[in-house]
Amino acid sequence: MIRQITRNELEELIHSRKKFVLVDVLPADSYFREHIKGAISLPLEDIEQKAAGALRKDAQIVTYCASFECQASTKAAEKLIALGYSDVVDYKGGLKDYKEAKLPLEGSLYQATAKAGSCCCSCQ
């Protein structure tokens, strides 16, 4: 059974400043569009090939995907554990749950918003 954490537990982990790796397991185009601030992209279909280059075996790892209904983060956590990663948890709420709480996201959607609100002249 894969251990799961809630959004509140993830927030506590982020604010604790403990070292951990937040892994977005959605396809790369989704990651580039939007992801939880500080997450790395490691799509589910690439885990076996790319995990060793992206993650340390002893790292605390939190996987997430799209929502409570999405199973990709659970499958990713299972694959990582099978590959020998010892401290893996699954944030089941995923991007949807995090976004609904209006917590910080990054990606091209948010860069466009930031640029739209910035001044284009030298009035500073």
pTM to 2 decimals?
Answer: 0.88
Give yes or no for residue 52 having a pLDDT over 50.
yes
Beta strand segments in the chain, E: 3-5, 21-24, 35-36, 40-41, 60-64, 87-91, 105-106
Distance (Å, whole) CA 107 – CA 39: 11
Q: Residue 48: pLDDT band by 50, 70, 90 thresholds?
A: very high
Instruction: Note whether residue 11 is domain-resident.
Output: yes
Instruction: Note whether residue 107 is domain-resident.
Output: no
Q: What is the pLDDT of residues 54-101, one digit of tens each?
A: 999 999 999 999 999 999 999 999 999 999 999 999 999 999 999 999
Give yes or no for residue 47 having a pLDDT over 90.
yes
Positive or negative, the Cα torsion across 39, 24, 98, 15? negative
Give the CATH number for residue 78.
Answer: 3.40.250.10
Tally of domains within the chain: 1
Positive or negative, the Cα torsion across 32, 19, 80, 50? positive
Give yes or no for residue 113 having a pLDDT over 80.
no
Instruction: Note whether residue 115 is domain-resident.
Output: no
Instruction: Note whether residue 116 is domain-resident.
Output: no
Distance (Å, whole) CA 80 – CA 78: 5
The residue range of the domain holding 63 is 3-102
Instruction: Note whether residue 119 is domain-resident.
Output: no
Instruction: Note whether residue 64 is domain-resident.
Output: yes
Instruction: Note whether residue 124 is domain-resident.
Output: no
Q: What is the pLDDT of residues 12-36, one digit of tens each?
A: 999 998 999 999 999 999 999 999 9
Phi, psi of 74 (to 5 degrees): -65, -45
Distance (Å, whole) CA 45 – CA 26: 9
Instruction: Note whether residue 122 is domain-resident.
Output: no
